[in-house]
Structure 1
Amino acid sequence: MKKPTMQVEEIEPRTIQRADVAPTDGFSLIVDGHFKTRYESETAARAAGAELLDRFPMLQILIYDAATRVRSPLQ
């Protein structure tokens, strides 16, 4: 007796962000020298960085602006 197979309707392709390639738009967190999450606004990136720094104060966190290619420390 064959088992019924489940058919997946459509699998959405994942957008994978490489940690060694700088993003081309938006703002990103740089945690201990590695690119992490991308954000649309600087305020969202700073809020996420501040929350992460509160939980783990030993981390070095920078905010990367892709438009100007500037890394600024989280204060």
Structure 2
Amino acid sequence: MKKPTAHVDEIAPRIIQRADVAPADGFTLVVDGHFKTRYDSETAAREAGAELLGRFPMLQILVYDAATGARSPLQ
């Protein structure tokens, strides 16, 4: 007997963010020199970075502002 297969009508395209290319907009966490998660606001990026730094204090975490191209450390 054949097993029924689930049919997917439409697969949503994946948004792939490369770790070696600077993002064009928003704020991004830079963890040990690699671009990671993108955020719309600086506050959200700093909160996520502080939480990550609390769990892993040995990491170097910066917040990258795509509009100015500046990287600022968490304090």
Q: Structure 2: which amino acid aligns with 1:49?
A: G
Partner of residue 34, structure 1: 34
Shift in Å at residue 9 of structure 1?
A: 1.4
> What one-letter code is carried by the residue in structure 1 that aligns with 2:26?
G
Residue type of the alignment partner of 1:59 = L
Which runs of 5 or more residues in structure 2 are unaligned?
Answer: none
Q: Deviations over 1:21-69 (max 9, x none)?
A: 0000000000000000000000000000000000000000000000000
Aligned-partner residue type, residue 65 of structure 1: D
Instruction: Report the Cα distance in structure 1 between the residues aligned to 2:50 and 2:72, rounded to whole angstroms.
Output: 13
Number of equivalent positions: 75
C-alpha root-mean-square deviation of aligned residues, in Å?
A: 1.0
> Counterparts of 1:61 and 1:43 in 2: how far apart (Å)?
15
Q: TM-score, normalised by structure 1?
A: 0.94
Q: Give 1:50's aligned residue.
A: 50
Gaps of 5+ in 1: none
1:22 matched residue in structure 2: 22
Tell me which stretches of 4 or more aligned residues in structure 1 moved more than 2 Å.
1-6
